[in-house]
Structures are given as C-alpha cells and as structure tokens.
Amino acid sequence: MLDRHANQAEGLLGLVSQRGPRMLAVVHHGDEQAELPLLWQLCLSLVSFGYAVTVLDATKPESDANPGLAELLDSAHWNDNASRDAPAWTVLPAGKGIQSLCTLRVPGLQSLQQLGHLFPQEGVVILYCKVEWMTPLIAGSGIEPLLAVSQSRTSLITSYLALKRLLITGKLRPTIVNMIQEGAPNREDTQQQAISSLSDCAKKFLGQDVKAINIIEPSSEEGQNDDIQRLTCA
C-alpha cells in the first residue's frame, strides 16, 4: 500500500484490508452515457497518481475468447508477481466471477480479500456492476459507491431504484455523480434539476441525505479533469 503522505486519492478509496489493493465501486444501473465517461476519467486520474488500475467489468461475461475474473478465481496457480507486470490500466470481464462471489456463503469482506490477492497490492480495483451484486460484496467495507447520472428521464428512474437499494438493503453511503458535458447549452441547469430531484426523492421517501457532486466531462481526452482530480483527492 502506498505511504499515507503519497496517497493523494485516499479520500475516495475504501480499504479492503490493511494489506492489498484499494477498491472503489461504480454502480451500473443502465446509464452508460454517464457511467462510462466516469470510469474513463477515474482511470486516467488514478493512473496519473501512480496507481495500477484494474476495472472489474461485471457488465461483460467472461468467455473462452475473452477470459477474465472467473478464470483468475479458478486458477490454483495464479502468480501474483505476474500481475505486477500488467499495464497500468486493465479492464477485465467479470460478470461470472462477481456473480460466483455473491453466491458464496461467506461474508462480503472475505470475498473482497479474495479479490485482493489477485491484483497488485499498491493498485486500485474498480468494481463496476449492478447494485444487487454490489451490496453483498461491499457492505460493511467502508467503500462509498459512485452512482453516475445523466439528464435523461430513464437515468433518473433507474438511478433512484439503485440508490434505494444501496441505502436500504446495503446500508451504504453512495455519492451521486452528476455527469455534465462540457460546453453543452443549458446542460448544467437541466442536469442540476435532475440531481436535485434525485436527492429530494432520497430525502423525502427514504429519509436519507445523499452527497452529490458535479463532474464536467471535457470535450477532449487530453489533459487532466479538474473535477475528477478533486473527487479523487477529497
């Protein structure tokens, strides 16, 4: 694990254990217009901090042609040293592997520790999956999942359902991430109305105050995103 003074992204990352990679979680609720740009920007930012990043993409199932987490979990001969030679940013299909971890009759923290043995100890693992798989895995871990939303009506509905399950079933404290395209006319005002509606629904119907932040999506992929930098340094 990185020394405390060097770990600029420590505020965002939940500890899985005292030894092993750190983990964060991004909820998949069907709004890829918001979720995928958030994942992209998180990876860019964390790599810039010096982390080796692994995204466990549970929206994609493993296959013979495209192996992923399930094969790592099944391998009795996994060599941890090999993971240290991996690229700084790796995306692994993880649908079958995450689902298998959810069906084990063991506490979620034990499943997370099992994951921790597969990846560089000073790295970051990003869990990207639907909320019904996320809650049994990270409940009680201290991880605060990120719930990305866009201005579409469908996003507001699906994000509210995910938020309800995170708060009520998982007893988790998510952060709503309001993804706004840079330069889009009136986009920020419309988006702010959507996120206010989501926060109001959480307070009115669930009795919960939910943290929400705005992230401006840059028009180009070059350079650092200041909003993401502030998120990872929070």
Counting as low any pLDDT under 50, the low residues of the chain are: 1-11, 14-18, 76-77, 79, 81-84
Query: What is the per-residue pLDDT for 6?
Result: 37
Confidence (pLDDT) at 92: 95
pLDDT at 54: 94
pLDDT in the model for residue 133: 93
Placement of tokens 């840079």 in the chain: 182
Contacts 24+ apart (CB under 8 A), 181-187: 181/216, 181/217, 181/219, 182/216, 182/217, 182/218, 182/219, 183/219, 187/151
What is d(CA 95, CA 20) in angstroms, rounded to the nearest whole number? Answer: 22
Record the pTM: 0.84
Burial state string for 108-133 with b = 16 or more CB within 10 A and e = fewer than 16: bbebbeebbebbbbbbbbbbbbbbeb
Q: What is the pLDDT of residue 108?
A: 64
What sign for the dihedral angle of Cα 44, 49, 50, 52?
Answer: negative
